[in-house]
Amino acid sequence: MGHIRNIWLEYGFLMNPYHTDHLDATREDAALYIHRETEETRLGNFLASEDHGAIFVEGHVGVGKTTFVNQTQYLLMQDDSLPRILPSCSVVEVQNTSTSEELVFSIIASVLRALRLHSPGVEDSNIFREIKSYTWQAQITSWTASASIMGTGGGNGKITTQTQPVAISLQTLQNLLDKAAILASERGFERIVLLINNLDNVNENHFFSLLHDLRDTILGRSRWLFVMAGPIGMHRSLMSSTIHRRISERIAGEVVKLDPLNLDGVFEVIKKRVEHFRKQESIKAPVPERTIEILYNASRGEIRYVLNRANGIARMVAQEFTGTGPIQENLALAALQKLISDEVRANDLTERQWEILEAIVHAGNVRPKNHDSFSLNSAQAFINYLNRFHRLGLIEQERFGRETVYTPRGDIALFFKGISL
């Protein structure tokens, strides 16, 4: 067996300073956060002022939407003059296969986790036990289904809350929502905040249909506030839809849009992490700033991408060399080149797909109506390529009314354009 090492200790850190986990609504994580005061005020005003409904938080993939929502909740929790909120401590994820009942069940399960975290002793409550009995049934059902599909090992053994027993009706789940609200109120919480996430990867018409079905079930319920974190343009699409017009009165008219942090903001994020996790003051960030700048520019400021690739560079260098410390620039870029090349080439694309993908990179951004530039005879033919690239995470999409614009992700841009000092 080879020599096993804790590379972050060798770099001089107690923990990985480049981790990509979102920041939670805690004092410790607040010390690592870069404030967005204007956006925090907009979201905070909604959470502090409204009794029910939903608001959209929009931004590109990896811009930090979940962290932003959590830290805004934390700010509210520190102000005793504002209504006391039960913060969302776990995201409710929507899938393209989610049903109305599954979404409500996930909401209930999220509230139970929040109560357990923010109200010690709540598990002794009869109401908590009653609600938990339903969630336990659902977890067992979900795990059993996974085991029957994957074999006796049950897949990776993960228990999810995305599936609930058929026997639990929507009416029963509505009753459980009411009981959860009563329990939260008894514990002193005037508002319940729920973060609906993963909307970047969900068919928006399916999500809007779920909201339509649950307009009164969740969006009209007193003391329940929902934050919808999704791609830019989703709110506009919903507001312009004639089919789902009835939902608009439950949705805040003002959207909270998160722009990427500027480069100095990204450097500040890393600086805070380095200072927080290093063992002694002399320890510096392993990955050089010039490499961080290259990652920033390639991804158009996607902080999660920057951190993820910095993490990969540090790990690869530590594995290839015995010593660890600040990484030389040429070595960092060589490691980045190998990481990107290995991952991009692992995609199962045809020669024609590679050609179109490279052309998209050099174009910068494209729309389906640009199909002629790619020697395709229809917008639909181009959309078929774009949808596949989007599913693989090679490009991202942004909505402008009825029009969708596609741009290459960081790895793809660097792969075709190359990496240089």
Place of tokens 């990985």: 16
Pairing assessment for the beta strands 85-86 and 403-408 based on DSSP bridges = unpaired
Tokens describing residue 394:
């090679």
Q: Where are the alpha helices (DSSP H) in 240-302?
A: 263-277, 289-299
Which pLDDT does position 144 carry in this prediction? 40
User: What SS3 state is found at 408?
Assistant: strand
Per-residue confidence (pLDDT) for residue 167, from 0 to 100:
57
For residue 356, pLDDT over 60 is answered with: yes
Percent of the chain surpassing pLDDT 90 = 68
Say which amino acid occupies 52: H
Q: Which pLDDT does position 85 carry in this prediction?
A: 97
pLDDT at 400 over 90: no
- pLDDT, position 147: 39
Residues in the chain: 421
Q: What is the mean pLDDT of residues 256-270?
A: 97
Angle 170-172-176 from CA coordinates, rounded to 5°: 110
Beta-strand ranges (E) seen in 8-116 are 53-58, 85-86, 92-93
Span 272-300, mean pLDDT?
96
pLDDT tens, 178-218?
Answer: 999 999 999 999 999 999 988 988 888 899 999 998 988 89
Report the DSSP pairing between strands 191-197 and 85-86: parallel
Lookup: tokens for 306:
């920057």
pLDDT at residue 136, rounded to an integer: 67
CA distance 3 to 303: 33
Find out whether 179 and 127 touch, Cβ atoms under 8 Å: yes
Q: Which domains does the chain have, with CATH numbers?
A: 35-257 (3.40.50), 263-345 (no CATH), 351-417 (1.10.10.10)
User: Which candidate, 215, 254, 244, places its Cα nearest to that of 53?
Assistant: 215
Distance CA 387, CA 337 (A): 26
Cα 381 to the center of its chain, rounded Å: 30
Q: In this predicted model, what pLDDT tens digit does every residue of 162-173 receive, in sequence order? A: 444 445 778 888
pLDDT in tens, 363-384: 999 999 999 999 999 999 999 9
pLDDT of residue 323: 63
Q: Is 3 helix (H, G, I), strand (E, B) or coil?
A: coil
Amino acid 159: pLDDT: 37
Average pLDDT of the residues of the chain: 88
What pLDDT does residue 247 have? 87
In this structure, what token pair is assigned to residue 379? 């917008």
pLDDT(297) > 70: yes
Residue 3: which pLDDT band, with cuts at 50, 70 and 90?
A: confident
Please compute the mean of the pLDDT values over residues 304-311 and round it to a whole number. Answer: 96
| One-letter identity of residue 23 | L
Question: Is 192 within 8 Å of 178 (Cβ atoms)?
Answer: no
DSSP 13: B
pLDDT of residue 138: 57
Quote the pLDDT of residue 322: 61
The DSSP bridge pattern shows strands 92-93 and 191-197 to be parallel
At 160, the pLDDT band (50, 70, 90 cuts) reads very low
Give the pLDDT confidence of 105-145 residue by residue, as tens digits. Answer: 889 999 999 999 999 999 999 999 999 888 766 554 444 43
